[in-house]
Structure 1
Amino acid sequence: MRLSELSRRSGVATATVKFYLREGLLPPGRRITATQAEYGEEHLRRLRLVRALIQVGGVSVASAREVLAALDNDSLDQNDRLGTAVWALPHGKPADLDDPATETARQRADRLLERLGWGYGPLTDVTPPAYGMLVNAIATLERLGYPCAFEDLEPYARAMEQLAVNDLDLVERYGGTADEQVEAAVALTVLYEPVLLALRRLAEAEESRRRFGTH
């Protein structure tokens, strides 16, 4: 397909597609003349991923390039490619090590992960950025005086375990090659987070209606 069709099928403006090409977020097409190139389905799939990262996920061009580099690294196995790509996504500010709440939060996060049997945390060789997100979130709860003991956090973690199973089941049902599955996993990580937030709020509204509603 030509650039104009790639733009039409992806819903991304031609100027934006050209920008992504210049920035290396999209591989060059097959040159057919001095001024024209031809693009395939792999370009369309990659363009949709870039759009999910930048336009929906708010990922910077630099971070998107890092994610894509991990996806294209054939020296990594499927698990490492996915992990490296997801770790390159934005994860908020680093924890404030001078804040006393941070140390308390770190201890609670470590206890939670240990009880869950998840192989992450500062005492392991693998510490994903999401660990820092968790520490920051617990520190904020602690700082503001809201419940954040192990007993408060564990039900959320157990629910996330099931969600992770659903996520990867969805990726496997998506089918395609290993490359397509890893790309889908990254895209769905970004695209499903707003779905999860919306469903949680709707579920809370429904539970509130059941518990406290007058009708």
Structure 2
Amino acid sequence: MRLSELSELSGVSTATIKYYLRERLLPPGRHVTATQSEYNENHLRRLRLVRAMIQVGRIPVSTAREVLAHVDDDSLGLTMRLGAATWALPQLPETPADDPAAVDAKREVERLLTELEWDSAREIGDLSPVYRSLVTSIATLNRLGYSVPTAELLLYARQMEQIAVYEMDQLEDLPKGTPQVEMAVASQVLCDPLLLSLRRLALEVETARRYGIA
């Protein structure tokens, strides 16, 4: 397809697509003449991912480029590609490792991961910014006096585990490699606000059930 067709199918202006091409967020098309290039379904899929990251995730262009570099790194196995792309997404500001609240929170996270039998997460540990974000979240809650009991953390984690299994099952239906990693990144960018909205709506509904709407 030509640039104009890509624009029509995606709903993204040609000027914006050209900007994404210049910023290396989209791979170049196949040159058919000196002034024209041809694009395919891979470009359309990538364009949707870029829009998701920038419009929904509010991710800076430089960060999006870093994420996509990991998405396209086929020298890595699928697990490492998924991990690297996820780690490049924006994370919570981190609590200093020597902060007493962070030290206590890290011990709590280790107990949680042991109980869950999430051995790979324990092995990776501090190397993962996602792990460090969890430590920061728990440390902040503890510091403010809103500690979450381990039993509740386990409940939340088990629910998240079910969602993770479902999402990974969906990836199995896609072609191996880049399409799977692209979908995994899109899922995280798009589903995080979706899950938050569903949680808040569920709380509204449960409140109304218990106490009425008035």
**TM-score, shorter chain, exceeding 0.5:** yes
Secondary structure, counterpart of 1:124 in structure 2 = helix
Match of 1:44 in 2: 44
Match of 1:61 in 2: 61
What TM-score do you get using the length of structure 2 for normalisation? 0.91
Query: Shift of the alpha carbon at 1:149?
Result: 2.6
User: Structure 1: how far apart are the matches of 2:117 and 2:179?
Assistant: 30
Alignment of 1:124-163 (within 5 A): 124-126=123-125, 127-163=127-163
User: Structure 1: how far apart are the matches of 2:124 and 2:199?
Assistant: 33
Q: Do the aligned residues in 2 keep the contact of 1:6 with 1:39 (CA within 8 Å)?
A: yes
1:125 and 1:181, CA in 2 relative to 1: closer, same or farther beyond 3 A? closer
User: Structure 2: how far apart are the matches of 1:95 and 1:161?
Assistant: 25
Match of 2:212 in 1: 213
Match of 1:203 in 2: 202
Q: Do the aligned residues in 2 keep the contact of 1:108 with 1:149 (CA within 8 Å)?
A: no
User: Structure 2: how far apart are the matches of 1:138 and 1:94?
Assistant: 11
Match of 1:190 in 2: 189
Deviation digits for residues 121-174 of structure 1 (CA, Å, limit 9, x no counterpart): 5x634532111111111111111111323123111111111111111122224x
The list of structure 1 runs, each at least 4 consecutive aligned residues, that deviate by more than 3 angstroms after superposition, is: none
Query: Which amino acid is 2:210 matched to?
Result: R
Deviation digits for residues 72-122 of structure 1 (CA, Å, limit 9, x no counterpart): 11211222211111111111212233532222211111111121111355x
Query: Which amino acid is 2:187 matched to?
Result: L
> Which moves more between the two structures, 13-22 or 123-132?
123-132
User: Structure 1: how far apart are the matches of 2:213 and 2:18?
Assistant: 57
Query: Which amino acid is 2:159 matched to?
Result: A
Deviation digits for residues 10-31 of structure 1 (CA, Å, limit 9, x no counterpart): 1222221111111111111111
Structure 2 residue ranges without an equivalent (≥5) = none
User: Structure 2: how far apart are the matches of 1:47 and 1:125?
Assistant: 32
> Which moves more between the two structures, 60-69 or 44-53?
60-69
Deviation digits for residues 33-91 of structure 1 (CA, Å, limit 9, x no counterpart): 22221111111111111111122112222221121111211211222211111111111
User: Structure 1: how far apart are the matches of 2:37 and 2:150?
Assistant: 57
Q: Do the aligned residues in 1 keep the contact of 2:138 with 2:147 (CA within 8 Å)?
A: no
Query: Which amino acid is 1:5 matched to?
Result: E
Identical-residue share of aligned pairs (%): 55
Query: Which amino acid is 1:78 matched to?
Result: L
Query: Which amino acid is 1:7 matched to?
Result: S
Query: Shift of the alpha carbon at 1:183?
Result: 1.2
What TM-score do you get using the length of structure 1 for normalisation? 0.90
Q: Do the aligned residues in 2 keep the contact of 1:113 with 1:120 (CA within 8 Å)?
A: no
1:56 and 1:149, CA in 2 relative to 1: closer, same or farther beyond 3 A? same
Structure 1 residue ranges without an equivalent (≥5) = none
Secondary structure, counterpart of 1:132 in structure 2 = helix
Query: Shift of the alpha carbon at 1:187?
Result: 0.8
> Which moves more between the two structures, 132-141 or 6-15?
6-15
User: Structure 2: how far apart are the matches of 1:72 and 1:214?
Assistant: 50
User: Structure 2: how far apart are the matches of 1:141 and 1:156?
Assistant: 15
